């Protein structure tokens, strides 16, 4: 029988605050074989970088890759042979998303069917002009002790409107951090960044019972990105370290596979310690902790909300008739925040809005799911089970992210409106029940008198 080793996560306390930083900092015991396996795996990620004299995450894998072989986000472009002639636009819903309908509440359901084709007349937004507008909105802050510069964005109607239009990539890291930090500071269990920074190296030095599974998932996470294509080096090392530390910090939840793409996407914008902090902020302020909770009870509740939103729609009735539940197609959407489901540029647009507005629930994620389903409606309403499942689980190549976000904005507002109406109805029902109970009690008292 394997020996048992004690592993203690030492809680770090903020000044004047006795609340522990981790969700579960009690002493844990790990079998010796688990500890040894963890240490062996950790060494694999450290040894290549030490031997090569590399710092931080090491170098990215630029062997046989030139600057022209990657897109603006670092994804390696897969070259295909030039077409012999012009390709006709697809009409089976397998690619090229374009949603042709007016976003008016009265005729939304009539115009909702997606027309799948590409509109080349649509011009890309001038990002440099938007960068100037975001620079004007940003409030510059300097930490007097460390000299670190951060930017704050006040949540106004203008900020919401511009976020739906897309955050310029140059401002995305600052904006995301501002959105999540603003939400975190309003919560009772808020832990300052400096305390989480102090805790990170302590976690990295400890073994985690989840390291074996993390090590299996790391090479499978966006391996088409130049940052994550070298085994045990570069981004893979950073990805492992952040997931390792997070599994110890959120010890009641540990590690779940859907976390890996979230961290990989964040590492495209942040260093590893900031990425660790951002991941904690997402789980604690954007309701991901409920989605990932043991037994996925929160995820099932989210799917129930999605079912309610689809109930009166033709597409929802079709899916019900085919016995296709959200668990069969939407799990990946919700747990990875649409990583692997839409192009990276569209995924970033979804994250922009979710990080700004997601403190009050999963409305943005529901809206994104409904937008994807709207885009597939013309195919799904006449599909059989196999065709519908193929459509629902495949990658959707969104060619017009601006129009996609316009639909998402409509769906978000519509979803919130329905939710508020249901809450008002429940309150009214409870109030009426209370009045009836009070009236009945009064009558009984009168009879006794």
Residue-wise pLDDT tens digits, 410-448? 999 998 888 787 777 777 777 776 666 666 666 666 666
Taking 60 as the threshold, does the pLDDT of residue 15 lie above it?
A: no
Global pTM value = 0.81
Lookup: tokens for 175:
């904006």
Provide DSSP, 341-365. Answer: TS-HHHHHHHHHHHHHHGGG-SHHH
Lookup: tokens for 294:
């043991």
C-alpha–C-alpha distance, residues 367 and 85, integer Å: 38
More confident residue, 308 or 18: 308
Q: What is the pLDDT of residue 299?
A: 96
Q: How far is CA 246 from CA 46, 191, 198, 249, in A?
A: 18, 15, 14, 5
What count of Cα atoms within 13 Å lies in the side-chain half-sphere of residue 25?
13
Q: In sequence order, what E strands does 137-243 have? A: 139-142, 149-152
C-alpha–C-alpha distance, residues 179 and 275, integer Å: 15
More confident residue, 181 or 444: 181
C-alpha–C-alpha distance, residues 205 and 150, integer Å: 29
pLDDT-derived band at 223 (thresholds 50, 70, 90) equals confident
- Fold annotation for 96-120+129-167+291-433: Cyclin A; domain 1 (1.10.472)
More confident residue, 314 or 113: 314
C-alpha–C-alpha distance, residues 157 and 191, integer Å: 28
Taking 60 as the threshold, does the pLDDT of residue 215 lie above it?
A: yes
Across residues 268-287, what is the average pLDDT?
96
Assign 152 to helix, strand or coil.
strand
Q: What is the pLDDT of residue 104?
A: 42
- For CATH 1.10.8.270, the residue range(s) in the chain are 4-67+187-285
Residue-wise pLDDT tens digits, 325-373? 999 999 999 999 999 999 999 999 999 999 999 998 999 999 999 999 9
Assign 224 to helix, strand or coil.
coil
- For CATH 1.10.472.80, the residue range(s) in the chain are 96-120+129-167+291-433
pLDDT-derived band at 52 (thresholds 50, 70, 90) equals low
Please provide the CATH number assigned to the domain covering 4-67+187-285.
1.10.8.270
Which region among 199-203, 311-315, 368-372 has the lowest average model confidence (pLDDT)?
A: 311-315
Taking 90 as the threshold, does the pLDDT of residue 390 lie above it?
A: yes
Q: Phi-psi bin for 168: left (phi > 0), alpha (psi -120 to 50), beta?
A: beta
Q: What is the pLDDT of residue 10?
A: 37
Q: Are 249 and 195 in contact (CB under 8 A)?
A: no
CB proximity list for 81: less than 8 A, separation 6 or greater: none
């Amino acid at each position: 029988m394997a020996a048992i080793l004690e592993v203690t996560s030492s809680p770090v306390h903020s000044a004047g605050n006795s609340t522990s930083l981790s969700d579960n900092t009690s002493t844990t015991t790990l079998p010796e074989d688990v500890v040894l396996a963890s240490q062996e795996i950790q060494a694999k990620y450290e040894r290549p970088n030490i031997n090569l004299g590399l710092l931080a995450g090491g170098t990215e894998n630029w062997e046989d890759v030139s600057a022209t072989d990657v897109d603006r986000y670092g994804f390696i472009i897969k070259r295909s042979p030039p077409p012999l002639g012009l390709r006709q636009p697809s009409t089976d819903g397998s690619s090229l998303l374009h949603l042709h309908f007016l976003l008016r509440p009265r005729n939304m359901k009539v115009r909702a069917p997606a027309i799948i084709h590409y509109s080349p007349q649509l011009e890309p937004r001038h990002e440099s002009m938007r960068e100037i507008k975001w620079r004007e909105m940003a409030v510059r802050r300097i930490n007097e002790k460390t000299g670190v510069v951060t930017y704050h964005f006040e949540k106004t109607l203008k900020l919401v409107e511009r976020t739906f239009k897309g955050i310029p990539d140059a401002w995305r890291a600052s904006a995301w951090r501002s959105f999540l930090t603003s939400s975190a500071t309003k919560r009772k269990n808020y832990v300052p960044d400096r305390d989480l920074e102090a805790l990170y190296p302590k976690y990295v030095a400890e073994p985690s019972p989840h390291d074996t599974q993390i090590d299996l998932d790391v090479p499978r996470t966006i391996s088409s990105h130049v940052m994550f294509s070298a085994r045990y080096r570069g981004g893979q090392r950073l990805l492992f370290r952040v997931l390792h530390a997070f599994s110890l910090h959120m010890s009641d939840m540990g590690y779940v596979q859907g976390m890996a793409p979230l961290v990989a996407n964040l590492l495209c914008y942040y260093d590893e310690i900031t990425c660790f902090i951002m991941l904690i902020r997402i789980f604690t302020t954007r309701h991901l902790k409920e989605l990932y909770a043991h037994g996925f009870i929160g995820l099932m509740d989210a799917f129930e909300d999605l079912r309610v939103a689809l109930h009166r729609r033709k597409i929802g009735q079709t899916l019900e008739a085919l016995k296709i539940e959200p668990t069969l197609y939407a799990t990946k959407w919700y747990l990875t925040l649409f990583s692997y489901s839409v192009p990276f540029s569209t995924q970033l647009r979804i994250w922009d809005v979710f990080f700004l507005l997601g403190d009050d629930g999963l409305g943005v994620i529901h809206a994104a799911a409904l937008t994807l389903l709207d885009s597939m409606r013309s195919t799904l309403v006449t599909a059989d089970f196999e065709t519908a499942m193929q459509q629902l689980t495949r990658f959707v190549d969104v060619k017009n992210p601006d129009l996609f976000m316009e639909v998402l904005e409509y769906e978000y507002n519509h979803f919130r409106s329905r939710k508020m109406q249901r809450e008002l109805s429940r309150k009214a029902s409870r109030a009426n029940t209370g009045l009836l109970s009070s009236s009945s009690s009064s009558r009984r008292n009168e009879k006794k008198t």
